Structures are given as structure tokens and as C-alpha cells.
Structure 1
Amino acid sequence: MLGMIAGDGLNQRQVGFNLFLVGFLILFLELACIRWFSAKVIFLQFFTNVVLLAAFLGMSCGCLAARRTTNWLALFPGLAVMTFTAALVTMELYTNWGFAIDVGRQASPQEVFFGTEYRNPDLAKFVVPIEAIAGLFFVLIALMFVGLGQMLGRAFDAYSNRVAGYSLNIGGSLAGIVGFSLLSFAQAPPAAWFAICCAGIAYLLHQDKALLVPRIVALVVAAGFSLFYTDRSGIHETRWSPYYAIDLNKSNGEIFVNTIGHQMMIPFNDSGSSYSLIHLLQKHSGGPPFKDVMIIGAGSGNDVAHALRFGVDRIDAVEIDPVIQNVGIHQHPDKPYQDPRVFPHLDDGRHFLRATEHKYDLVVYALVDSLILHSGYANIRLESYLFTEQAFQDVRRVLKSDGIFVMYNYYRKGWIVQRVASMAKKVFGCDPLVLPLLYSDTLASSEAVGFTTIIAGCNPRISNAFRERGKFWLSSVPPENLLVNGFDKSPDKTAQSGDWLPLAPAKLVVDSEGAKQSTSDDWPFLYVSGKLIPDLTIRSIILLGVLGFGLIYFFKPKGAWQPNNRMFFLGAAFMLLETKAVVQMALLFGSTWLVNSAVFFTALLLILAANLYVIKVPSIQLPRHYAGLLTLLAVTVLVPLDAFLSGGIVWRYAIPCALSLGPMFFAGVIFARSFRDEGNPDQAFGSNIAGSVIGGLTESFSTLLGFRYLLIVAICFYLLSAWMPTRGKC
């Protein structure tokens, strides 16, 4: 029976092609699901690791069920339609039925999630914790991947050369990441992603003589499900960047990303005076106009438009998202990007800071809040590496001697403002000015805050002006600010149409521990209140762990069964290696989608190289490779990340890349050598992927340990794998 299920009359070439195709489909569908569900399930963009781990869990369950007669791939069309429908229903309940989503009690949070606080759970009719939504989609998405995992396990059983078969599977994964990267570059819509996935699955079902008419219809519905979200009014334009689903309201210039309001293109003549504030303070404190300006998070161009009104010579406008930048270039009413003084850069802000040799009078962090995780492998956001002590040192390096560094945002919590101000003082050596837009004498760590401007640097001009002249008055209508000196004690406001608000530096009152914890490149968690694992994360780990073990128990082989412990711990450890590589490369080359794709592509190439090495060198001594792996990991733990932020190209790039990626080769050799000798490849691979799920959950300890010391956990996993015996061939 097993031979019929595994091979089903296919020759070795056909089985090998299936290994390649399934590798392609699993990785391609995984990336498509991460993108789509993070955009269409409310607030799931902050928990994209749930989708990643669900895909791994589904693969694991499928491999474990390889010898069962139920064809789970035949159930994929119905499961996909059900999961997409659940996403649609969830959004409908939130949007039109008054449901509130509680995301870690944002009224008094251990971790702040921008954009999740607008609907008060205490006043809503129905409140659903985000972990419940995450758990629901964790199970549904996992079930979607069971069929492909089952096909993978059966193909491994049927292919005579284990390592060669695994190499074909990795080759398919390489093709998958290249294909999806090309579609991301082309800004292709989800219908194109899922059409490719459904076409591949249709081929496999046809090969299995299971492509019936109802399944064809379900696959067509699944592939085109995203079209249900198409706006037919002509008011909204939806485009998919490599990071977000971006919705532009063409009637008012408002931009939503992944269902959360992000920014609005505002004409200078209408509002947005806060963008002018730093230039007004410079002017009315007696300083010359800023000539060379860098704006990080330039977005659709509001900050650029205001800077152009104050005599700048050059603006380097840095934005990470190509669609948002493109929208600003073509549709901002003031056309700021068309001014010859503006030089747009599509880049990660931290990378631009490290790479530029230009010197600036002003560096601006302009409402830098990405509202999305950098990847599903690590709990950092796109802007995380902008708010560390080392990042502020990079800012100081590019400023002229009297230059100014300004940051403004709706920071939500006082301890975030105080943490940023404390780091600025430490790096620049002078007290920063903290200006809440709604004036307050004091700003406490524990209180909620709104729009706040932080001015850093050791140019005393603006500080002296506040000390000598008191408050600064700002009109809500930007052109009115050009007519008066805001430091005048009694500006003639009766003839003006805007609301005038007073501004003055607030005294910082530290009444919580969160303000005292600075961030670093090793611990870049600006929005976490301290070195801890937030309660929300703990609840999620427990819930996902229980659900995961339940699914594995359901799909495990019938009868007495014990997981393959060596392969399990190898999977858990390798997941943490990938996490470390992702964050290290983000720091070195930028937190862009291209860097992410390059990291995963390189990891797969190293695994493929390890497989070829095992094929060519049959008598491999595992202890030597364990020694090499553990040595590299120990060096990485002992050497801090910021040790490589200066120096020549070899020290800054080659050595950290070798330390981050080198262990993957040794780990790949150990896995391939162990996999080659396993008696049940489907069970071994399923156990390995199950270990990856545990490794992904373990990544949550990074908010407690930092990324360097998280590798100690990986070392422990590898030591456990070495201690476990290999199960020989039957």
C-alpha cells in the first residue's frame, strides 16, 4: 500500500520533478500567505510569524501523514476558500459590526502597536483578543499546507537518493523565492500570486487523478478571491508594494496600509504645520535656513513640501516603500518631488545613514512608523534599527558641527518619548528639547502622549530662544506661520483663521522603568517596555504551542510513534540561525524586502552546497562539523553586532556575513548527513519542520535576551541534537 501511495506508478524522474515542484509551491504559497493575510486580517501584520509558523506546521503534519490514505491535497481547494472567507468575515465584523480587537491592552501596554488603539475595547459591544484571531488563522493556514507537506513526504519515500531528492526540493524553493521576488518587484496583485499556486496544485491533483470539477471551481475562486476586495467606486486605488497593501483615497489623499491609516497628502496651504515647526524655530531663533537636509521616512512628501518653503538647497528624501514614494511623486498636490532641489532615494533609512558621506544641517525622522514586521522570522519592525544608540551615532556622524536632529511622531506612550530623548542625550551629550504639540509643563513616562517633537544636537540657539522668550505659538494653517514670529508673546491672532497652539519644552518625569531601558542594535525593541517577554507573547506561545501539538497528534502516524528527536532539534536550531542571519543582514544592508529575499536565497544556496558536499564526500565525520558550527556560533555570541559598524569592507561586511551565514553550511551538512541515513525520511523531515515551529516560538525570547544571546538557545538545541541517536535505515 505504501508503494502505491508514495510512488503511484511514477518513475524516478517524475517523483524528482514533484519534489522540485512541491518545494516551489510551498515557499511561493508561504510568501503569498504572509503578504495577503497580514494585509487582510486586521492587525495580523504585527504577527506575521504566525503565518510563517502555520506554514511550517502544515508541512510537518503533511509529512507525518504521508502514509495515510486520506489525500489532503485534494482538500486544499476547499480549505483555501474557507480560510480566505474567514479573513473576509473577520474584516467585515471589525469594520461594520463594532467588534474591537484587544492587542495587548494598549491603554497600558508592555508593547506598543501603532494603529491598534483607536477602538476602545472597554466601550465596544464585542471584544476579541488578537491571540484568538491569531490562533484561528494559525490552524486554518496550517491545514492549507498539509496537502503539500503530504505530497512532499510521499515523494521523499519514493525517491531512492535521499540527499539528491532533498536537493531537488531546495532547488524548487530557490525557484519559488526568485519567482515571488520578481512578482514583488513588478508589484503584481495577489490574484497573480495565488493563480500560480493554484495552477501548480491543479497539476498535482491532475497527476493524482483527483482534479474534479468542484475542485477546479474552488481553485478558481481561491485564486481570484482577492478580487472581492476591489473598489468599484473609483475613489480608492489599491496597489501592492513589496511591503503592504496600499489603499489611496483619491478624494482626500489619505493612504492606508494593511487596513491601518498611515499618512495623508496635505497641501501646504491647508494644514500640517507640525512639518514646518523645526524650520520656524530655526528662523525665529535667529538661525540661517537649513541648507542640506536629510528626511528619513519622506513618504508621500509632506515633510519635503514644507522644507522647500524655507530656503533649503538640497533635500535627500529617503523612503523605503516604492509605491508610497511613487504616489507622492505623481499625486501630492504640492508636487514636492518635482523640485530640482529634491533627491529621492529608495532605501532603508539606517543603511542610507551608514552609506552616505554627505554632511547635513538637519536630519529628520519624519513620522517613522512602518506598522509592519521586518519579516516573519524576527520581532523587529522596518524602523527598529533607526531607534538605537548606534543609529543615533550614525546620525551624529552625518551632521555638521552645528547640525540638528529632529524626530516627530505620535509616540503613544511617555516612556517611548523619554527613551528616545535619553538616547539622544547620551549620544549628543546635550539635553534634547521635547515639545508635545498639546502643551504640557511635564511629560511622565506612564502617561499617554500625542504628537511630540524631539530636537537633539548641541546647537543651543533654539534652547536659548525658549529660555529667553518663553512659549512658541504655532498656527494650524501653515501660511499664517510665515507672517509672524511665533516667539512673540502676543501675536495678532484675531485676523487669522487658524487655531494657535502654544509650544514649550516639557520637563520629563520618569515614573516607570520603561524609560530607563535604552535600545541597541542587539536589542532594538523601541516599543517594548523593558527586557521582558510581554504577556501577550506568552499567551500566544502557549496557545500556538497547544494548537500545534494538537495538530501534530492528529496527523501523527497511527499506532505507537515517537518523533525523531535529532531532526527535531536540528530544525529548532536552524530556525534561530535564520533569525540571526535576517537581523544581521538587515543591520548591514538595510531592512528592505530585497535584502530579505537575498538572505533566504543565500541560505538555500548554502543548504544546496551542503547537500552536494554530502553527496560527493560519503564518509563525513559529524563531530568535526558540529565543532565548526559551534565554534562559529560561539564567536558570534562573544562579538557584539556594533563591532562591525566601522572599518574597511572586509571588516564591515565580509566577516559579519561569514559569521551569520557560515553556520548554515555546517548545519546543512549535519542535516543532510543525518537525513541520508534515516529509515523513514517522511517522519524525519516532518520532525525537522516541527522543530522549526518550536524554534520560531523560541525567537520570542529575543525581547528578553537580545539577538546575540538568543544564539545560546540555538547552541543548546544543537548540543541536544548531537546527543540524540540517528535512526538507521530499515
Structure 2
Amino acid sequence: MQQEHERELAHDTGPAVAARRLTVPVPGNRVRLVLASALMLFVELALIRWTSSNNLYLVHMTNFVLLASFLGIGLGFLRGRAGHDLFPFGPVLLAVLIAFVLVFPVRTGTGRGGQWQLVGLFDWAPLPRWLSLAVIFVLTAATLMALAQEVARTFSTFEPLEAYRLDVMGSLAGIVTFAALSFLRLPPLGWGLVGAAVFVVLLGRRLRMVRRLPVLALGALVLMLGAESVVGSFQWSPYYKIHTTQLSGGLFRVEVNNTPLQTALPVSDIRRDSPFYLYPYTYAGSRDDVLVIGAGTGNDVAVALAQGAKRVDAVEIDPAIMQLGRDHHPDRPYSDPRVTTHVDDGRAFMERTDRRYDLILLALPDSATIVTGQSALRLENYLFTTQALTQARSLLKPDGTFAMYNYYEPWLLDRYANTVRTVYDAAPCVQLGPSYGPRQQAVLTLRKDASTGGCTTTWTPRTTALEPSVDDRPFPYLGSRTIPSFYLWMLGLVLLASVVAVRSVAGPLRTMRPYADLFFMGTAFLLLETKNVVQFALLFGTTWAVNAAVFAGVLLSVLAAIEVARRVTIGRPILLYAALLAALAAAWLIPQDALLDLSLVPRFLAGVTIAFAPIFIANLLFAVRFKGVGSSTVAFGANLLGAMVGGALEYLALIFGFNALLVVVAALYGLALLTGRRHLVVSST
């Protein structure tokens, strides 16, 4: 029996192991692998952030660039040492991608007909969505493929676990660097200079190759990003590309990610031209203590002060937008001593505060960005769930009033009004303003005691009211439990293109057959990581800092698992599958509401334990298996391609919710167990 298993393993590892054992790591390769891995993840994060700020097609495409990145990285690893050295072409491909996005942007504008619509450069018609996204996908995948091949070439000179360890250290460095640049609010020029410097170090003598094309490409890349950074009134916050315009009469307009956000108006102009700002106070009782979530540049804060508020807590997630309001709002509301500002996520603030309010106002808290390339969450998704509105109600004084307003399409107004009715068991007051195309200004108000304060115009559904969104499925902008058809087409074409690309680059797919279990592990782990991103967004806020901390925590868990696998011989790896199943079951059974009821420190400890226990065990399982692979680059490539499939399966959360992803994760690890069971037997004998 033992000999039979050894013959099976030889098919997987024989020649590859021999070749690998003849390869001796060159001094300096450790630094090269760390730098290459850091550059690869840095470029991936920068592209996810930057492309969506210039192309509105990507705002709601959640993980589109992430899928392209995983495909490119997987292809780069599958090539390994095979074929031409692609890394010198990395700067060229990246420069072409940047040029394409800048020359063919997709933004909101008036167009030639004078109507608000999507436009391109000089208000010309934008490229068709399918063409724009296809070019971005191909160029992103090609760029990451060139970078990943450099990682793979160095990766293969080490024993598998040592290579994996150095790769994770580099990835951690890439995340920390990008987080630091976000904290400093550096524009893309700063990102480009950092990336170009690492390119130069890694290219070394190869800079003279290919007719100095990499040098020219790096120069063009820095010039293009520099021009975008210094031309026009642009700022870069951790969330947005912000454009500011000084209007006549001292007014100030802000656009984010090529979309109009707000014009800072004095209260006198608001009373005359935008009276809906005053609607929340029409039927409110006392307004001594006011909470404004989505404070923006300060219009709602200025109105609250004008309405007699003695204290206003102004919550805004973006520090740059709040600073713009502080510096430029005509009424200077943020300088008033009655105002306390909070740069925070609105839901997280409500969960942490112990104050009580006369009026809680959700003031246009809709964003133009997603939390990360690895989840379908927008910044405000957790503000509109039944749990969020229940928490808001608990913060009201006995005669306090809750209000929310926006420009709603009829079906979305019905959903939000139905959510308010679900929480208060009474229909809210609805006050309507002018219509703008399919959208209409609307304000929903209701007192804590479920009375309308004298308002007689209460909400009644125009059609069948849509179910409220909940914390497990926080998608208020999705009409029903379905995956939109465009997403399905996109995912289908992406997966088909991926199969063709893998077949073309790496040859027959059967070369990856010995690593089918690693493929399923990659698919499962991406879903597990996504679940943790959204869980921590709920527990601690949908902020860039929380997001960066989660990714860093995941990588530290991976690093810890590698160190354990290097030092400890696990004789029965199948026990790890049992431990992983138990950890997944615990994460599935413990309700998120139970964690939200805890104070901050116990919530953090419980959240970290529940989230990172399965991550650590899963990575220990992967490390034990990866330790004995023959071709580390092919095995790692198969794992990364599995992660890309996991990114596609993430959309199941739109139908079943995020907690259901844990069931899918368990099933995928079951497939990994079935396809990799012979390696478990070998390890235990």
C-alpha cells in the first residue's frame, strides 16, 4: 500500500522535485522575492482603487479588477520559468492601462444634450460598457501576469514553505505601504513613484533590454499620474478622487469619483432653493441634541444650528470631505462650538455612542465607492438594515425623531419606508420634493413612540413593498434576491476567458490535476476572507483603516500557520479538516447580533477569535499540503486560480446572504479533502 502511494506521489512530484532540489537560492533572492510580492499586491490594490475612481462602470462591479488580478497572478505563476521573461513588459502594460483609463474615462456629465448622463473625455459619448470593461480586464490581467512571473521565478528557487513565507511577508509589506499612502492622502503620483522605484530595483540590468522600453514606460507612467494629480482641483482621500469647483457667489461644489456629491450652501440659499433640508424639522419635537450621519461639507449641520440645536454630533466617514466643509462652507458650521465632528462610519458610531438624541438624521449617506475590491459592500450598506434603524431608535430620547432623506427611485423609497415600518410598526411620514428624472426628493420621519408628530401624509406602498435589507444581506439597492443578469454574463465571460487563457499560457489543464485540492482550497479561502471583511465592517465600521487591518490580520494568520507548519510535524492532517469544520460551524452558528451587543474590547476579542480561527486552521492545512508539492509555482498558480473562482462565487451572497458563504466554504474544503486524500495518507505513514 505504501509503495502504491509513493508511485502516485511520484507522478506529481518526481522530476519537479529533482529539478527544484538542484536549484540553490541565490543570495539576495529573499529580498527580491519580498520586493516582487510587495510590488504585485501594491499594484493590485492601487488598480482596484484608481480604476474605479475614473470609470463609473466599475463602481458597482465590486470585484471585477480583483478577478482580473487573480487571473493574471495565476497565469504568471503557471508560466514560472517557462518562456520569455515578461517582467520588463510590466511597466509597459501598466502604462498602457493607465493611458487607456485616462483617455477613455466614464464619468457623470451633462453631455451634448444638456442632460445628466454618463460621458467620456470632453463630454463625448463613453465607450460601450462591454468594451471598456473588456480592455481593462485584459490589460489588468496581463500586467499582473508580468509581475507574478517575476515572483514565480524567484519563488521556485526556495523550498515551498520558505517561498510561501517570503511571499506573504512581501504581501504584508505591500498592504502596509498602500495603507500608509492612504493615511497620508497622497495622490496617484505618490503611488506611481513608489511603484516605479521598486520596478527599477527589481529590473536592475534588464532596464537596458527591450530598447529601454521599461524606462520610457515608467517615465510615462509617472508623468500621466503626475498630471492627474496636479492638474485641476483634485484631492485624494482614502475613499475618493475629489474634485472641487468654486462657484459664483462664494458657493463651493464637490464631486467624488467623477460624480456630483454636494454643493455647500448657506442656510439662506437652502431656505429659498432647497427647502427639503428643513423637512425633517417640520414634525419633530425638541431639537436640542442632533445627530447627523453623512454630514459631508456641512449643509445639514448648518441647518440644525439654524433650527436651534444646542449640540450637533456630525459624523462623516471621509476626512477630506469634512475638511473641505470646515474650510469652505459659507456658514462655517464646523467652527461652531456647538458642533462635535466625528470622522467615522455612521453605523459604528451608533453602536459605540452612549448619548441620546432629539433628532437622528441620515443625510444623503449614499457613497460612490465600495469598501474594497473583495466585497459587494458600499460604504453605507450597513446603515439601511433593520438592525441599524433599530439601533438608531434606541438612541432617541422618549420624544425623539428619526429622519432620513435622499433622491429616491419609487421602489427604493418603498423599501426604506417599509424598513422604517418594520422597525417602528407604523408607517412613517413622507414628504416629497421635486423629481429629477426617475428620482424624487423624499424625507421619511417618525418619532420614537411611532407617532408622526401631526403629519397626515403617511407612506403607503405604490406596489408590493420590497423586503427590508438585514445585516446578513445588506444590499438595499438590489431589488430582489437575485444576481443581476449583467453580473451573470460578466462572470460567465470572465470564467470562459480564464479557461482559454490558462489553456493558452500553461498548456493542457491536466497539468494542474495533481493540485485540484489546492484549487478548491483557494476558492474556499477567498470566500472565507470575504466573509471576514464584511463581518469586521459590521463590527467596527466600513472604513479603509478597518479594511486594511483585516487584510493585514489575514496575512499575519497565514504567516503564523506557515511558521507552525515549518516547525511542527502534523502526522494526521485529516484532523485539521475536522477542526476547520468545527470552526466554520461556530462562525455560522454565533449570530452577529450577539457580537454587536458586546462592548468594544470583548467584541474585538470575540470577533478576532471567530473570524481568524478558521483562517489559521485553513492556512495550516494549506501549508502542510504545500510543504510537499513538487512544482511550487504550478501548485501556487492553481491555488490562485481557485481564488478567482471564489471571487465569482462571492456573488451568491446577493441571494443567500454572507453567512451562507460559510456553508459553501465547508463544501469546498470537503472537495479539497476528496481530491487530496491520497496526500493525507502519505503524510500520516
Change (3 A) 1:647 1:507: closer
Name the residue aligned to 2:404: 407
Picking from 47, 53, 69, the partner of 1:33 is 47
Name the residue aligned to 1:451: 441
Picking from 312, 323, 343, the partner of 1:346 is 343
Q: Helix, strand or coil for the counterpart of 1:402?
A: strand
Q: Helix, strand or coil for the counterpart of 2:296?
A: coil
Unaligned runs of 5+ residues in structure 1 are 101-115, 441-446, 468-504
Name the residue aligned to 2:653: 702
- Between the aligned partners of 2:103 and 2:113, the Cα distance in structure 1 is 12
- Between the aligned partners of 1:667 and 1:294, the Cα distance in structure 2 is 43
- Between the aligned partners of 2:256 and 2:440, the Cα distance in structure 1 is 21
1:423 and 2:419 are equivalent in the alignment: yes
| Cα shift readout 1:380-401 (whole Å, capped 9, x = no counterpart) | 1100000001101110111111
1:209 Cα offset (Å): 6.4
1:169 and 2:171 are equivalent in the alignment: no
Picking from 298, 312, 324, the partner of 1:301 is 298
1:55 and 2:69 are equivalent in the alignment: yes
1:130 Cα offset (Å): 3.1
1:603 Cα offset (Å): 0.3
Name the residue aligned to 2:322: 325
| Cα shift readout 1:75-112 (whole Å, capped 9, x = no counterpart) | 11221121112112222898798799xxxxxxxxxxxx
- Between the aligned partners of 2:571 and 2:466, the Cα distance in structure 1 is 51
1:14 and 2:33 are equivalent in the alignment: no
Change (3 A) 1:270 1:152: same
1:534 and 2:534 are equivalent in the alignment: no
Structure with higher helix content: 2
TM-score (norm 1): 0.84
Picking from 38, 46, 56, the partner of 1:24 is 38
1:448 Cα offset (Å): 3.9
| Cα shift readout 1:661-682 (whole Å, capped 9, x = no counterpart) | 2111001111111111111101
Picking from 582, 599, 609, the partner of 1:658 is 609
Q: Helix, strand or coil for the counterpart of 1:707?
A: coil
Picking from 349, 352, 368, the partner of 1:355 is 352
Q: Helix, strand or coil for the counterpart of 1:562?
A: helix
Picking from 395, 398, 416, the partner of 1:398 is 395
Change (3 A) 1:716 1:9: closer
Contact 2:55–2:107 under 8 Å retained in 1: no
1:280 Cα offset (Å): 4.0
Name the residue aligned to 1:277: 279
Name the residue aligned to 2:572: 621
Contact 2:502–2:509 under 8 Å retained in 1: no
Matches within 5 A, 1:554-593: 554-557=504-507, 561-563=511-513, 564-593=515-544
Q: Helix, strand or coil for the counterpart of 2:96?
A: helix
Change (3 A) 1:6 1:38: farther
Name the residue aligned to 2:255: 256
Q: Helix, strand or coil for the counterpart of 1:261?
A: strand
Contact 2:71–2:498 under 8 Å retained in 1: yes
Contact 2:334–2:341 under 8 Å retained in 1: yes
More moved, 141-150 vs 339-348: 141-150
Letter in 2 for 1:548: S
Unaligned runs of 5+ residues in structure 2 are 1-14
Letter in 2 for 1:508: T
Change (3 A) 1:321 1:8: farther
- Between the aligned partners of 1:79 and 1:400, the Cα distance in structure 2 is 58
- Between the aligned partners of 2:450 and 2:573, the Cα distance in structure 1 is 63
Name the residue aligned to 1:498: none
Matches within 5 A, 1:378-527: 378-411=375-408, 413-438=409-434, 448-458=438-448, 463-464=453-454, 466-467=455-456, 505=457, 507-512=459-464, 515-527=465-477
TM-score (norm 2): 0.90
1:7 Cα offset (Å): 12
Letter in 2 for 1:534: P
Contact 1:25–1:200 under 8 Å retained in 2: yes
Q: Helix, strand or coil for the counterpart of 2:376?
A: strand
Picking from 358, 369, 372, the partner of 1:372 is 369
- Between the aligned partners of 1:604 and 1:92, the Cα distance in structure 2 is 34
Contact 2:396–2:448 under 8 Å retained in 1: no
- Between the aligned partners of 1:684 and 1:70, the Cα distance in structure 2 is 20
1:173 Cα offset (Å): 1.1
Change (3 A) 1:230 1:347: closer
1:638 and 2:589 are equivalent in the alignment: yes
Letter in 2 for 1:454: L
| Cα shift readout 1:541-572 (whole Å, capped 9, x = no counterpart) | 11211222222222214796334211111100
- Between the aligned partners of 2:642 and 2:435, the Cα distance in structure 1 is 52
Contact 1:419–1:516 under 8 Å retained in 2: yes
1:510 Cα offset (Å): 4.0
1:686 and 2:637 are equivalent in the alignment: yes
